[in-house]
Amino acid sequence: MRIIIVGAGEVGFHIAKKLSSENKDVVLVEINEERVRRVQQVLDVQVIHGKGSSPSVLRKAGLESAEIVIAVTDSDETNIVACLIAQTMSKNIIRVGRVRDPEYRGASGLIDQSFLHIDLVISPEEEVSKTLSLLADTPGTSDVLEFADGRVKLLGIKVDRGNPMAGKRLMEVSSKDGEKILVAAIYRKENVIVPRGDTRIKEGDTLFIVTLPGAVRRVLKLFGKQDEHTKRVLVSGGGRMGECVARRLASRGIGTKIIEGDRPRCEQLAEALNKVVVLHGEGTDQRLLTEEGVRDVDMFISAAEDEEENVLTALLAKRLGAKRVVSLVDTTEYIPLASTIGVDVVLSPMLSAVSAILQFIRQGKVLSVSTLREELVEAIEFIAMETSKIVGKPLRKLSIPKGALVGSIVREKEVIIPDGDTVIQAGDRVLLFARPELIPRMEKAVKVGLEYF
């Protein structure tokens, strides 16, 4: 599979690094010489120095024989043109483009009205705002993901000091109603464990729990998390990300305020966000945060462009009494650090974009791909094919290696949280968790029909 990536910024570089480690045939196109040198020094991929919207450059990159083109430069226009050229030169190629400007997206945007037919339009702002909306609905969680059109949820719940669940084996954990609880992964000391039934829970662990929407509140209560609705949110940073986040949360009836240091930008925000209170000031201003009632907000979101500032601002808000603080961070090394020093939720716009892209790269009938905690585990939702030997046998008899786990099965209207006796049938929607090193074998198993991962 030849994959052409246009743009070697954070998203392009990261996806190229991930795919090259899986021995994919990757070609990177980049116009910036410094970025070209960085890729050549670090990654084992082919690099073409040139403009990503140039037909001759894309032809040199092998566009006519490629299966996927991923345009993720800093320019929406370059990304759109690259996808248009790909459509012209190769009718069957899959086209993925990052488009950040709202004028190009949505019901009245160019993308829906034109003949470009980009297979996947990526907007980091939209991905992050969707995640924050889910987090607002589920207080007490550090992570929330949805699968099977919302019929299956994955909750990240941290085991705080003194939690009665600490020390218990996973097989001992169940709700008072006796419903099954499946822990798909455990984040422990910057590593992810795909657990077994005899794995013991430790203080400081973050458990990734597969459950049904109707059981979310009971699961939170089981782990001692308070069920308090998110009513008030304060967003620090009025850039494109902060604006998108504030708009979505306010549209859900949540009282939302946004802080921005640039006065002209404040005026733009006030005009664009009629349901949001716009404040002129800095998110690091302790006096301003106190005056605006930071101690009473249910969620404080640091969404400035400077990620170091985001971490510091979130920690300040936490110290001033905010119940739950969120920081946007893209540098992979900062993510576990921010969590360790007290940030409740750390989101990466870059990793959100990468997860969306992976859906089109993973082989087989893949419906969605999500990554957990610095991509230490992938959650892959796929359709079980008749040719696959994972079909027709109890899970306990499959040679599923350590580091992989089936989290849920959706069969028509039924949602199954599986155990060792569960049998996958052809046509089932299966949610599989796997460590990165198992992904190539997993792809073969679900597509070609191999018995072993």
Query: What pLDDT is recorded for position 114?
Result: 54
In Å, what is the CA distance from 301 to each residue of 268, 319, 362? 20, 14, 32
Residue 382 CB coordination number (10 Å): 24
In Å, what is the CA distance from 420 to each residue of 174, 361, 449? 17, 30, 20
Picking from 66-75, 298-307, 338-347, 431-440, which range would have the lowest pLDDT averaged per residue? Answer: 431-440
Residue 157 has pLDDT above 90, yes or no: yes
Residue 338 has pLDDT above 70, yes or no: yes
Stated as kind and residue range, the H or E segment containing 45 is none
Q: What single string gives the DSSP state of each residue in 275-287?
A: TEEEEES-TT-HH
> Which 8-state DSSP code applies to residue 136?
H
Banded model confidence at residue 104, pLDDT cuts 50, 70, 90: confident
Residue 268 has pLDDT above 60, yes or no: yes
C-alpha to C-alpha distance for 362 and 370, rounded to whole angstroms = 11
60 contact partners, CB below 8 Å, separation of at least 6: 48, 50
- Domains annotated on the chain, with CATH: 2-122 (3.40.50.720), 148-222 (3.30.70.1450), 232-351 (3.40.50.720), 384-447 (3.30.70.1450)
C-alpha to C-alpha distance for 6 and 252, rounded to whole angstroms = 36
132 contact partners, CB below 8 Å, separation of at least 6: 245, 248, 249, 299, 301, 326, 347
Query: What pLDDT is recorded for position 113?
Result: 45
Please provide the average confidence, as pLDDT, over all residues in the chain.
89
Select the more confidently predicted residue: 175 or 228. Answer: 228
C-alpha to C-alpha distance for 172 and 195, rounded to whole angstroms = 13
Residue 394 has pLDDT above 80, yes or no: yes
Q: Quick one: tokens of 93? A: 């190629």
Angle (CA) 433 439 440, round 5°? 155
Report the Cα 339 to chain-centroid distance in Å. 16
Residue 175 has pLDDT above 60, yes or no: no
The beta-strand segments (E) located in 148-217 are 152-158, 182-188, 191-193, 206-211
Query: What pLDDT is recorded for position 194?
Result: 87
What share of the chain in percent tops pLDDT 70?
Answer: 93
In Å, what is the CA distance from 173 to each residue of 42, 167, 198, 200, 217? 45, 11, 11, 10, 16
What share of the chain in percent tops pLDDT 90?
Answer: 64
Q: Quick one: tokens of 446? A: 């679900």
5 contact partners, CB below 8 Å, separation of at least 6: 12, 15, 16, 26, 27, 28, 29, 69, 70, 72
Select the more confidently predicted residue: 302 or 337. Answer: 302
Query: What pLDDT is recorded for position 343?
Result: 95
DSSP, collapsed to helix, strand or coil, labels residue 357 as helix
Per residue in 109-132, pLDDT (tens digit) is 565 545 566 888 888 999 999 999
Bridging pattern class, strands 46-49 and 25-30: parallel
Per residue in 245-254, pLDDT (tens digit) is 999 999 999 9
Average pLDDT estimate for 19-45 = 94
Picking from 43-52, 88-97, 98-107, 191-200, which range would have the lowest pLDDT averaged per residue? Answer: 98-107
Q: Quick one: tokens of 96? A: 């993925």
Picking from 38-47, 166-175, 285-294, which range would have the lowest pLDDT averaged per residue? Answer: 166-175
Average pLDDT estimate for 404-414 = 93
